[in-house]
Amino acid sequence: MPEAPKRSSVVVPATTDDDGEYVVNNDKNKKALQFIEDVTSNPDVVQQRVLYEILSRSAHVEYLQRHGLDGHTDRDTFKKTMPVVTYEDLQPDIARIANGDTSPILCAAPISEFLTRVFACDDCRRSSGTSAGERKLMPTIEEEMGRRSTIYSLLMPVMNQHVPDLDKGKGMYFLFIKSEAKTPGGLVARPVLTSYYKSSHFRNRPFDPYTNYTSPNETILCPDSYQSMYSQMLCGLYQNKEVLRVGAVFASGFIRAIRFLEKHWSLLCKDIRNGTIDPLITDTSVRESVLKIIKPNPKLADFIEAECGRESWQGIITRLWPNTKYIDVIVTGTMSQYIPTLDYYSNGLPLVCTMYASSECYFGLNLKPMCKPSEVSYTLIPTMCYYEFLPVHRNNGVVTNSINSISVPKSLNEKEQQELIDLVDVKLGQEYELVVTTYAGLYRYRVGDVLRVTGFKNKAPQFSFVCRKNVVLSIDSDKTDEVELQNAVKNALTHLVPFDATLVEYTSFADTTTIPGHYVLYWELRRLDKSTAQIPPSVFEDCCLTIEESLNSVYRQGRVSDKSIGPLEIKIVESGTFDKLMDYAISLGASINQYKTPRCVKFAPIVELLNSRVVESCFSPKCPKWAPGHKQWHN
């Protein structure tokens, strides 16, 4: 891929205050911004009130009684009494609810549904005991939908401070649902975004410029991923001049949409030319909703054909959607690897990460959305749940705390519980594992996200997302986390620059079938200029060695001295392999909207799929550097 242009600077608003920020005249926006000011000015007071509300409402639920809270609602008693838990600790209670027990087990309010996480293709995130393909069921209650809507309602007022006139156009967002399941007891189980998109909060939403999409609701709510993608892309192309912002949930999802366009632009142009929709789109509600928008437009079809028919797709986003001001996708954590690709396709449009949320709870938002991706920080909104933080430390580049990251105990001991601190007590620059207590019945629950304190909004801390704590590779005593692996891969990619090659996707596998075991990385590459020389095996060997040199001293000791780890292996896979991997995950129940390529895999069918598409394999040619007592730290 040629060098991407520098990301374009933010458009200076026509009306600004002394700090250069867009002046918001809308009363609704002002109220939203004042809400942010209020809750961040007194976060500890808000947090104490939230904890009191949660505990008083559920004072007599079985779970709290079982642990001896005995109706107390104060913070000190709560901290001394209640254990810090993982999902596995709650599985027996969740199973009872799923099987139809309607007694107040976790929460006084009725559990309205379960929000699912599927681990069939995300198995490296398991802390323990969750078999491949098993759904992780997060209980939720009806009023949580209002809290999620609160976060969404804050996004546009924040954006309006930085980008003007967003109410004068539409957003082209690729949003998807997953067909839902039911538990034996009759409760719906579905991904959190499917729950939101199917709710009346979304379907019957009043007009809001932030949720004024090119995609009709019917195309978003279509369970067939091909029909949904095709119809959303068709509507987005047809309304190309109205599009002011584009996006998806994750960067990988948006790039998947662009690759879909690469494969199907001729069909899409045919429909735009004739004012039709392809016969493969059989969903009646989708066809009717799209045909209300699409009319014959030969001139637009000619334009799209000309742009998509060019040899280079650099800047295709700004070429097809010329009024686009930014791309709204998550590019933090491992999603950061997609930044060069997004820059290439968009001519360096600003990349915006707006909010931080999970199936357990929606947490907060980015108050400086036009910042560089590397500077993204989220302000946790104190009204969403009760937050606690477990300090973590990097030991030779590995994230650790008082809990072993591989073998997780059922709960923390008294000393370890005392390590947890409150929202207002976190320290600048320190990393923490997030622990939450929610209105829906999670008490001191370890989310598994590692966050770093980057600053403050009034008295409320702001956090950058570092990684998922339990995403690790391990052969022996070595532990490699997601961030360290990402940095090592980034270092190795410098060897591919002379060959005009770029990394499309990657994952890893701790292969213990060999003696000794070794790390395997699966790489899918793209060659932009196929006329350049083929990449010789020696280059991939150099990549292997660079990765090993970038890993922590425990790993390198295992390679050099202990001989407990074999040479690292890179396997080059066929083009389209990671699309196949995503299709497989979706077939097992993963949500296309929430899917992220796993950075390590263990599930045997996934490893078999990857190995079946290997076209070349290389090993590290020698041991990395290591000396006794030498420590190497990585950010």
pLDDT, tens digit, 9 for 90 and up, residues 125-144: 333 233 333 468 899 998 88
Over residues 594-611, the mean pLDDT reads 87
Least confident of 179-183, 280-284, 614-618: 179-183
3-state SS class at 235 = helix
Cross-strand partners of 473? 480
Give the pLDDT band (50/70/90) at residue 418. Answer: low
- Cα–Cα distance for residue pair 318/347, rounded to 1 Å: 7
Name every residue whose Cβ is closer than 8 Å to that of residue 34 and which is 6 or more positions away in sequence.
none
Greater confidence (269 vs 116) lies with 269
- Residue 3 has a pLDDT of 46
Amino acid identity of 586? I
542 within 8 A of 519, measured Cβ to Cβ: no
Over residues 306-322, the mean pLDDT reads 93
- Cα–Cα distance for residue pair 596/334, rounded to 1 Å: 9
Amino acid identity of 306? A
- Residue 264 has a pLDDT of 94
- Cα–Cα distance for residue pair 359/118, rounded to 1 Å: 11
Of the candidates 246, 213, 241, 214, the residue with the CA atom closest to the CA atom of residue 323: 241
The highest-confidence range among 18-22, 466-470, 481-485, by mean pLDDT, is 481-485
pLDDT digits (tens, 9 = 90+) for 50-80: 999 999 999 999 999 999 988 999 999 999 9
3-state SS class at 239 = coil
- Residue 413 has a pLDDT of 55
- Cα–Cα distance for residue pair 262/53, rounded to 1 Å: 52
Give the pLDDT band (50/70/90) at residue 608. Answer: very high
Q: DSSP string spanning 277-328?
A: --TT---HHHHHHHHTT----HHHHHHHHHHHTSS--TTHHHHHSTT--EEE
Token readout for 272 is 């735009």
Q: What is the average pLDDT score of the chain?
A: 83
- Cα–Cα distance for residue pair 317/349, rounded to 1 Å: 9
pLDDT digits (tens, 9 = 90+) for 220-263: 999 888 899 999 999 999 999 999 999 998 887 788 899 899 99
Using the CB atoms, write b or e for 129-157: b if 16+ within 10 Å. Answer: ebebebbbbbbbbeebbebbbebbbbbbb
Greater confidence (268 vs 30) lies with 268
pLDDT digits (tens, 9 = 90+) for 145-168: 888 888 888 888 888 888 888 888
Token readout for 397 is 């580049």
Of the candidates 330, 321, 35, 325, the residue with the CA atom closest to the CA atom of residue 164: 325
- Residue 531 has a pLDDT of 62
Q: DSSP string spanning 111-128?
A: P-EEEEEE-SS-GGG--S
Q: Which residue has the tokens 């392999």?
A: 577
Name every residue whose Cβ is closer than 8 Å to that of residue 433 and which is 6 or more positions away in sequence.
389, 390, 392, 401, 446, 447, 448, 449, 450, 451, 469
Of the candidates 209, 215, 210, 234, the residue with the CA atom closest to the CA atom of residue 173: 215
Name every residue whose Cβ is closer than 8 Å to that of residue 604 and which is 6 or more positions away in sequence.
132
- Cα–Cα distance for residue pair 190/196, rounded to 1 Å: 10
Cross-strand partners of 149? none
Name every residue whose Cβ is closer than 8 Å to that of residue 334 and which is 6 or more positions away in sequence.
467, 482, 486, 596, 597, 599
Going from the C-alpha of 427 to that of each of 4, 420, 422, 432, the distances in angstroms are: 37, 13, 11, 10
Over residues 586-595, the mean pLDDT reads 76
Greater confidence (16 vs 390) lies with 390
Backbone angles phi, psi at 514, to 5 degrees: -90, 160
Least confident of 5-9, 85-89, 235-239, 604-608: 5-9
Q: Which residue has the tokens 């109205």?
A: 242
